[in-house]
Every structure is written in structure tokens, then in C-alpha cells.
């Protein structure tokens, strides 16, 4: 009951729909009224550039080895069977899902806590902490491989997925936290205060009032973290030595650098690597854009 009342007072979406109906004739063409061909022509050219590479890899994964046809016909799934079983992509897939989901969860939770503190409190080390967040963006993760390797060796975490999950999380955190604190700042503090008056404590007020409004932002941040962890290559390559612990990008690299490259298998492996993230992405791209525009750059 409380919830309804409060969300009812939530701020209206910032973009007010333009008044419907035709514009006055006298007005010049607005951006809204760009001639159609000026949209569709460049878009088609760009779409071609985007899709041909996808088509190429799909072609190689579906047509029989040795075929040079530009249409994958007859379709064969032998390459997929091969990478999935012989080349252990089944195992890589599971590992990649584990790394991706664990990174998503950890990044979102830790960044949510930190982002809330940055958005809602003034405290002594806040400025220093913000500065550290920004500076960390200049620290090249790839160049810290050696000390990171030593740290994980000391923690006896080499060859465990935990090392990769921690490393991916840490390098996702700064940006995620900046984004999330931006989102939280966009939720009026008075909403939370109103919930306190109605008997919530700080945590339940946050959960009932703020969290639902953060959903698009959290989806953006979480998916960003997932996609990064799914795709990133060096940490897994360096920290995981057992083949049974490897992730998909490392598997792909192994296929690529093999002495005689099996193109069909390589392409099939590529499709396996692409499909989950492209699907995730297709669903979240709308939130990603609103998410970034809500809190992002201005924080």
C-alpha cells in the first residue's frame, strides 16, 4: 500500500512526448523530419558492414568443410558437434557462464552498496575515493598481470575460476559504481524519507522504494559486467592453466593458434561464443541506452 503511494509520486519520465499532430507548415524541417533516404541509405550501408562479418562466420560454421559456396547449403552441424565435444566447448561454455554470472552478481551488489554511499552521504574520504575510482580507469588491467598472478598464487587461487571472477569484478567496479551512484542521485531523496516516516528502516526503504526505480540502470550495469567478463581473455588465459577450467575466448584462441587451423570448428566456436552475449544484448540494448543517459556521464 505504502509502495503504491510512493511510486505514484515518482518523477515522470524525463522525456515528455512531443505534441502529436502535424507541425505548422511554416516550420522548417526538424531533425524528426529528415528525408527518409538520408536515414535508410547510410543505415543500410552500415548494416551491411555490421552483418557481413556475422554472415561470414555463420557460413563457415554451417557449410561442409572444403565447400566454397556463398550459401550454407547443405547445412551441416558437424562443426558444432566437434567443437562442443572434441574441443571441450561444452566445458568452456559452463565456465564462461559461471564467470559471467558471478561477475555480474558481485559487481552489481558491491557497486550498489558503494554507489548508494556515494550518492546519499557526505563522508570524509568521499572525494579521495571518487578520485581513486577515476584514476583506476587509467590502470591497464593487462599490464598488472604479473602482480595479480602473484597475488592469486599466494591466495592459492591460481587455476580456480574465483581468481578470474575477482579480477573481472574489480576492473568492472569503478565504472559500475560511478554509474549506479548517478542512477541513485536521480531518485529523489524525499521518496526515501517518506518511506521512513511510514515506518521503513533505511534498508527496507531502499528495497521497497529505490530499488524498483533503479531496475533499468542495474540491468545496464549488470549486463555490461556480464558481457565484459564473458568476452575478456587475458585473465582467464593467465590465471587458469587446466584445460577443464578455461573459458570460451581462451578456447577460441587455442583453435586459432593451432598448427593447422580447422576453419569450420573455429567458426562454430565463434558462434557459440557470440550467441549468448548477442541475445543478452538484443534484449538489453534499450535499457543500456536509457541506463547510460540516466546516470552516466554527469554523475
Partner 1 sequence: MAQAAAVAKPPAPPRRRRVSATPRRLPYLLIAPAALLMLGFIAYPVISVFYYSLQNYNPTKPWRNGFAGFDNFVQIFTKDPQFWDTLIFSAKWVVVEVGLQLLFGLALALIVNQTFVGRGLGRALVFSPWAVSGVLTSVIWVLLFNSQTGISRYLADLGIGAYGTSWLSDTSTVFPAAVVADLWRGVPFFAILILADLQSVSKDLYEAAEVDGASRLKQFWHITLPHLKDAIVLSTLLRAVWEFNNVDLLYTLTGGGPAGETTTLPLYIANTSVDAHNFGYASALTTVAFVILLFCSIVYLRLSKFGGDDK
Q: Under rule CB under 8 A, which residues in 21-80 are in contact with partner 1?
A: 27-32, 34, 36, 39-40, 42-43, 46-47, 49-54, 56-57, 60, 68, 70
Helices (H), 9-88: 36-62, 78-81
CB of 4 vs partner 1, minimal distance in Å: 21
Task: Answer whether 230's CB lies under 8 Å from 48's CB.
Answer: no
Q: Which of 72, 78, 159, 292 binds partner 1 (CB under 8 A)?
A: 292
Residue owning grid cell 572444403: 66
Alpha-carbon span 284 to 225, nearest angstrom: 13
Among residues 4, 8, 12, 18, the one that binds partner 1 under rule CB under 8 A: 18
Least separation in angstroms between CB 299 and partner 1: 10
Give the shortest CB-74-to-partner 1 separation in angstroms: 19
CB 262 within 8 A of CB 255: yes
**Count of residues in contact with partner 1, rule CB under 8 A:** 111
User: Residue 209 CB: number of other CB atoms within 10 A?
Assistant: 24
Distance CA 120, CA 214 (A): 14
Q: Residues 89 to 118: which contact partner 1 by CB under 8 A?
A: 110-111, 113-114, 116-118
Site string for partner 1, 162-181 (x = CB under 8 A): ----xx-xxx-xx--x----
Q: 93 or 171: whose CB is closer to partner 1?
A: 171
Whether 214 and 111 have beta carbons less than 8 Å apart is answered as no
Tell me if 230 sits within 8 A of 72, measured CB to CB. no
Spatial neighbors of 111 by CB under 8 A, at least 6 apart, are 172, 173, 176, 177, 179, 180, 221
Of residues 225 through 284, those in contact with partner 1 by CB under 8 A are 227, 230-234, 238, 249, 252-253, 255-256, 263, 266-267, 269-270, 273-274, 277-278, 280-282
Among 6, 148, 158, 213, binds partner 1 (CB under 8 A): 148
Q: Which of 97, 101, 120, 160 binds partner 1 (CB under 8 A)?
A: 120
Amino acid at each position: 500500500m505504502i509502495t503504491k503511494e510512493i511510486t505514484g509520486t515518482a518523477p515522470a519520465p524525463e522525456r515528455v512526448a512531443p505534441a502529436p499532430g502535424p507541425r505548422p507548415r511554416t516550420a522548417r524541417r526538424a531533425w524528426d523530419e529528415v528525408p527518409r533516404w538520408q536515414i535508410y541509405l547510410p543505415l543500410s550501408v552500415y548494416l551491411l558492414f555490421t552483418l557481413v562479418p556475422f554472415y561470414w562466420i555463420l557460413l563457415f560454421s554451417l557449410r561442409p568443410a572444403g565447400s566454397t559456396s556463398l550459401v550454407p547449403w547443405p547445412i551441416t552441424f558437424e562443426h558444432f558437434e566437434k567443437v562442443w565435444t572434441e574441443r571441450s566447448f561444452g566445458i568452456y561454455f559452463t565456465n564462461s557462464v559461471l564467470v559471467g554470472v558471478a561477475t555480474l552478481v558481485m559487481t552489481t551488489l558491491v557497486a550498489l552498496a558503494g554507489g548508494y554511499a556515494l550518492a546519499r552521504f557526505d563522508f570524509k574520504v568521499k572525494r579521495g575515493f571518487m578520485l581513486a575510482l577515476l584514476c583506476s580507469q587509467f590502470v591497464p588491467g593487462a599490464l598488472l598481470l604479473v602482480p595479480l598472478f602473484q597475488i592469486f598464487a599466494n591466495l592459492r587461487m591460481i587455476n580456480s575460476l574465483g581468481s578470474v571472477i575477482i579480477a573481472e569484478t574489480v576492473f568492472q567496479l569503478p565504472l559500475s559504481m560511478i554509474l549506479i551512484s548517478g542512477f541513485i542521485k536521480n531518485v529523489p531523496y524525499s521518496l526515501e524519507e517518506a518511506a521512513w516516516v511510514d515506518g521503513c528502516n533505511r534498508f527496507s526503504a531502499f528495497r521497497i522504494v529505490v530499488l524498483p526505480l533503479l531496475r533499468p540502470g542495474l540491468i545496464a550495469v549488470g549486463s555490461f559486467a556480464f558481457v565484459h567478463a564473458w568476452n575478456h581473455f587475458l585473465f582467464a588465459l593467465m590465471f587458469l592453466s587446466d584445460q577443464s577450467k578455461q573459458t570460451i575466448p581462451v578456447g577460441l584462441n587455442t583453435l586459432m593458434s593451432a598448427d593447422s587451423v580447422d576453419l569450420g570448428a573455429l567458426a562454430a566456436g565463434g558462434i557459440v561464443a557470440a550467441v549468448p552475449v548477442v541475445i543478452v544484448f538484443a534484449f538489453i540494448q534499450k535499457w543500456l541506452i536509457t541506463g547510460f543517459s540516466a546516470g552516466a556521464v554527469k554523475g
